[in-house]
């Protein structure tokens, strides 16, 4: 706890150190009402001061950490579930259909590219030839 009389109580970082959690966790618990904090005018503006760290908050924090770990394990299990046979067959059909469409579009793109090249060459043939740049009098002499 800080010894300065103007800043009695725990700062957020001191409370986090005391409970062994991050400052973000302390802020979340203040916002949720699990930790009572008061805003006071500090050296650099308003800051939270925690005058009492409840004992049950430590247990809540541990429970929250365990719940987070369980949720991440559940998410991993969801990702690794096997697809039922009917879904696998329909998924395979969709993939094959998309591959066929991809090949057709690639062929159309190739044809369009060739058409553009032909049109560009025709434009070059139709455009008048450009005159050579005029030379300065001194370039004509030398």
- Summarised one tens digit per residue, pLDDT across range 109-137 is 988 999 999 899 888 888 777 777 788 88
The reply to whether 38 and 104 lie within a common domain is no
Count of domains for the chain:
2
45 bridge partner residues: 42
The reply to whether 70 and 9 lie within a common domain is yes
Distance CA 85, CA 136 (A): 82
The two structure tokens encoding residue 113: 């590219």
Q: State mean pLDDT over 12-39.
A: 86
The reply to whether 113 and 68 lie within a common domain is no
The reply to whether 54 and 95 lie within a common domain is no
Global pTM value? 0.39
- The range of the structural domain enclosing residue 50 comes to 5-79
**The most confident of 51-65, 72-86, 119-133, by mean pLDDT:** 119-133
The reply to whether 72 and 88 lie within a common domain is no
The two structure tokens encoding residue 21: 């959690």
């Amino acid at each position: 706890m800080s010894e300065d009389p103007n800043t009695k109580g725990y700062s957020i970082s001191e409370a986090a150190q005391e409970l062994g959690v991050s400052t973000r966790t302390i802020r979340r618990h203040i916002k949720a009402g699990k930790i009572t904090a008061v805003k006071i005018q500090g050296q650099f503006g308003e800051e939270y001061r925690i005058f009492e760290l409840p004992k049950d908050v430590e247990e809540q924090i541990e429970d929250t950490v365990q719940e987070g770990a369980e949720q991440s394990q559940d998410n991993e299990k969801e990702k690794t579930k096997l697809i039922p046979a009917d879904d696998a067959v329909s998924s395979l059909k969709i993939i094959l259909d998309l591959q066929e469409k991809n090949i057709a579009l690639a062929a159309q793109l190739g044809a369009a590219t060739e058409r553009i090249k032909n049109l560009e060459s025709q434009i070059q043939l139709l455009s008048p030839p450009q005159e050579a740049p005029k030379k300065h009098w001194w370039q004509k002499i030398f």
